[in-house]
Amino acid sequence: MTTTSGIPTTMRAAVLHGPGKLSVENRPVPAPGPGEVLVRVEAVGTCGSDVHYYREGRIGDFVVREPLVLGHEAAGTVVTCGPGTDERRTGRRVSIEPGTPCGSCGECRPGRYNLCPDMRFLATPPVDGAFCEYLAVREEFAHEVPDTLTIEEAALLEPLSVAVWACRKARVAPGDRVLITGAGPIGLVAAQTARAFGAREVLVTDVLPHRLELARAAGATALDVSRTPLSVAEYTPTVLLECSGVPAVSGEAIRTVGRAGRVVLIGMGGSEAPLPVSRVQNYELELTGTFRYAHTWPTAMSLVESGRVRLDSLVSHGYGLAEAESALTVATHDATAVKAVIYPQR
């Protein structure tokens, strides 16, 4: 059933009911509230967090306790506008920034809205995500994208934003030698972003040949650590971007960082990791974590539009909404899987 505006009253959504239990169901199309726009979702990337929730029903303290729609790397077209928004945005293509902060707390006011304690983030329990046909989004977090970007690139501005934020935290600058551990989607876009920020050399480590080849195609040097351990590679970075989330990997990588180097922990893995304290102290290393991003979409969009970052190389598989479960499990049976994209309108 559709309304006089042509917008359906119901939509399909891929709903997680528990570990390994995903079903496509009909739900009401949300009505955009004050300050919101309604987006027809056309592409959604699958993230490692989606896979964690699907497999285990939780990530750390975030636990799926009630049915949850997954997906937060989304893009689409604005189909209607709620009260107090610019109606001229109807028909515009947008990339969705998935976090909605409160805007008034002690973190939001200085601009650190990624650390807002009351953040509502798509596909983070109990907030439903974007594996659905329509999504109501606060207007300022629906970023208009130029026609030169594909809908897949618009969706993947979200993982690119993770890389932009990490490179900013690491203060990557011309002349830096960067080490990136893990050639998953984040590691691959981090390699391109570091080069765009001026790094003179980028080394990416992994154990999967096809991902290492993608790293080489992105202009990085690739190291298969199943053949050559990092400890004997004789590479001394000024910046470490740890993307694997594997505690043992991060400890080994920190030991290679040169004096006054910067270490940024990005990958989500174990809750604790061995820290080579003597290296941190004796070399005066700076070590920090990252949690999502803030104010990154304009930079991410510019990097893609200019050609300095290519996101199309990440997309390895595409699925309709009814195949959402396949998108979440493809990596278990296809070693070449990098990024699966779901097209909710299919």
Are 128 and 14 found together in one domain?
Answer: yes
305 found inside a domain: no
**Contact 193/211 with Cβ under 8 angstroms?**
no
Tokens standing for 335? 């070693």
122 found inside a domain: yes
Q: What is the CATH number of the domain that holds 205?
A: 3.40.50.720
> Which pLDDT value is given to residue 81?
97
Range of the domain at 107: 10-156+311-343
Are 35 and 124 found together in one domain?
Answer: yes
Helices and strands (DSSP H and E) totals, the chain: 9, 20
The residue whose two tokens read 């501005």 is 157
What is the pTM (predicted TM-score) of this model? 0.95
**Contact 200/178 with Cβ under 8 angstroms?**
no
Number of domains composing the chain: 2
Are 122 and 223 found together in one domain?
Answer: no
**Contact 178/198 with Cβ under 8 angstroms?**
no
**Contact 206/182 with Cβ under 8 angstroms?**
yes
Tokens standing for 293? 């991003």
Handedness of CA 216, 262, 184, 118 (dihedral sign): negative
299 found inside a domain: no
In the chain, the amino acid numbered 257 is V
> Which pLDDT value is given to residue 273?
83
**Order of all β-strands in the sheet with 68-69:** 21-28, 10-18, 68-69
5 found inside a domain: no
Q: Is 324 helix (H, G, I), strand (E, B) or coil?
A: helix
Q: What span, in angstroms and rounded, lies between the C-alpha atoms of 223 and 21? A: 37
Q: Is 328 helix (H, G, I), strand (E, B) or coil?
A: helix
Q: What span, in angstroms and rounded, lies between the C-alpha atoms of 327 and 22? A: 12
Are 96 and 210 found together in one domain?
Answer: no
Are 170 and 128 found together in one domain?
Answer: no
SS (H, E, C) 241-258: EECCCCHHHHHHHHCCCC
The residue whose two tokens read 């907030």 is 127
Are 116 and 231 found together in one domain?
Answer: no
Q: What span, in angstroms and rounded, lies between the C-alpha atoms of 324 and 23? A: 9
Are 17 and 137 found together in one domain?
Answer: yes
What φ, ψ does residue 243 adopt, rounded to 5°? -110, -5
Are 103 and 186 found together in one domain?
Answer: no
CB atoms within 10 A of CB 92: 15
Please state at what angle helix 324-333 crosses helix 48-56, rounded to 10 degrees.
Answer: 90
Are 275 and 335 found together in one domain?
Answer: no
2 found inside a domain: no
In the chain, the amino acid numbered 136 is A
45 found inside a domain: yes
Residue 255, exposed/middle/buried by CB under 10 A (0-12, 13-18, 19+)?
Answer: middle
Per-residue pLDDT of the chain (346 residues; tens, 9 = 90+): 445 468 999 999 999 999 999 999 999 999 999 999 999 999 999 999 999 999 999 988 899 999 999 999 999 999 999 999 999 999 999 999 999 999 999 999 999 999 999 999 999 999 999 999 999 999 999 999 999 999 999 999 999 999 999 999 999 999 999 999 999 999 999 999 999 999 999 999 999 999 999 999 999 999 999 999 998 999 999 999 999 999 999 999 999 999 999 999 999 866 788 899 999 999 999 999 999 999 999 999 999 999 999 998 899 999 999 999 999 999 888 989 999 999 999 9
Are 144 and 15 found together in one domain?
Answer: yes
Q: What span, in angstroms and rounded, lies between the C-alpha atoms of 259 and 239? A: 10
3 found inside a domain: no
| Strand ranges in 139-224 using DSSP code E only, listed in sequence order | 142-144, 177-181, 201-206, 221-224
In the chain, the amino acid numbered 225 is V
Are 260 and 330 found together in one domain?
Answer: no
Q: How many CA within 13 A on the CB side of residue 102?
A: 11
302 found inside a domain: no
Are 152 and 173 found together in one domain?
Answer: no
Q: What is the CATH number of the domain that holds 324?
A: 3.90.180.10
